[in-house]
């Protein structure tokens, strides 16, 4: 098991038998993402945990939770090959809120650019086409992807 920052804390509080946390794969301003095993299907999933600091006042916690809920609500409406699917969501205790997404194995665009450098114009056009197709799908569903 991985002991990266936050892993032990989440591991000790995440009491959901159907998932086994494997490793931390990302972190942002609002959460941490872990690769996990969904035990009943033996498939890997990505679990995003909302990070709520103990220093946050009640209103700030409420805003973060509402934003996370909006994100998962939007995700539940979108079924597109270029958008990861929301599979499940839940909460452990009062302050460990999570969403389970399909896991996509591979490297991020940021990682690719840092190792390969610039993309060819045709590669860039292909990637942008996929992004725009996903955005068009979200727009058709009436989903706003920003908050």
Residue 15 has pLDDT above 90, yes or no: no
Under the banding of pLDDT at 50, 70 and 90, the label for residue 55 is confident
| CA–CA gap between residue 33 and residue 89 (Å, rounded) | 13
| CA–CA gap between residue 125 and residue 119 (Å, rounded) | 10
Q: Give the model's pLDDT for residue 1.
A: 41
Residue 57 has pLDDT above 80, yes or no: yes
| CA–CA gap between residue 112 and residue 94 (Å, rounded) | 38
For residue 92, what are its two tokens? 């452990």
Q: Give the model's pLDDT for residue 101.
A: 96
Q: Give the model's pLDDT for residue 75.
A: 87
Residue 2 has pLDDT above 60, yes or no: no
Angle at 15 between CA 13 and CA 21, to 5 degrees: 85
């Amino acid at each position: 098991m991985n002991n990266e920052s936050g892993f032990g804390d989440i591991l000790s509080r995440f009491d959901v038998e159907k998932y086994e946390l494997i490793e931390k794969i990302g972190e942002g301003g609002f959460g941490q993402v872990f690769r996990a095993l969904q035990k009943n299907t033996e498939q890997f999933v990505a679990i995003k945990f909302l990070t709520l600091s103990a220093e946050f006042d009640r209103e700030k916690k409420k805003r973060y939770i509402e934003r996370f809920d909006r994100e998962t609500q939007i995700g539940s409406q979108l079924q597109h090959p270029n958008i990861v699917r929301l599979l499940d969501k839940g909460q452990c205790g009062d302050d460990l809120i999570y969403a389970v997404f399909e896991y996509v194995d591979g490297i991020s665009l940021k990682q690719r650019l840092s190792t390969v450098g610039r993309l060819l114009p045709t590669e860039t056009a292909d990637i942008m086409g996929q992004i725009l197709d996903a955005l068009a799908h979200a727009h058709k569903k009436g989903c706003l992807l920003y908050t």
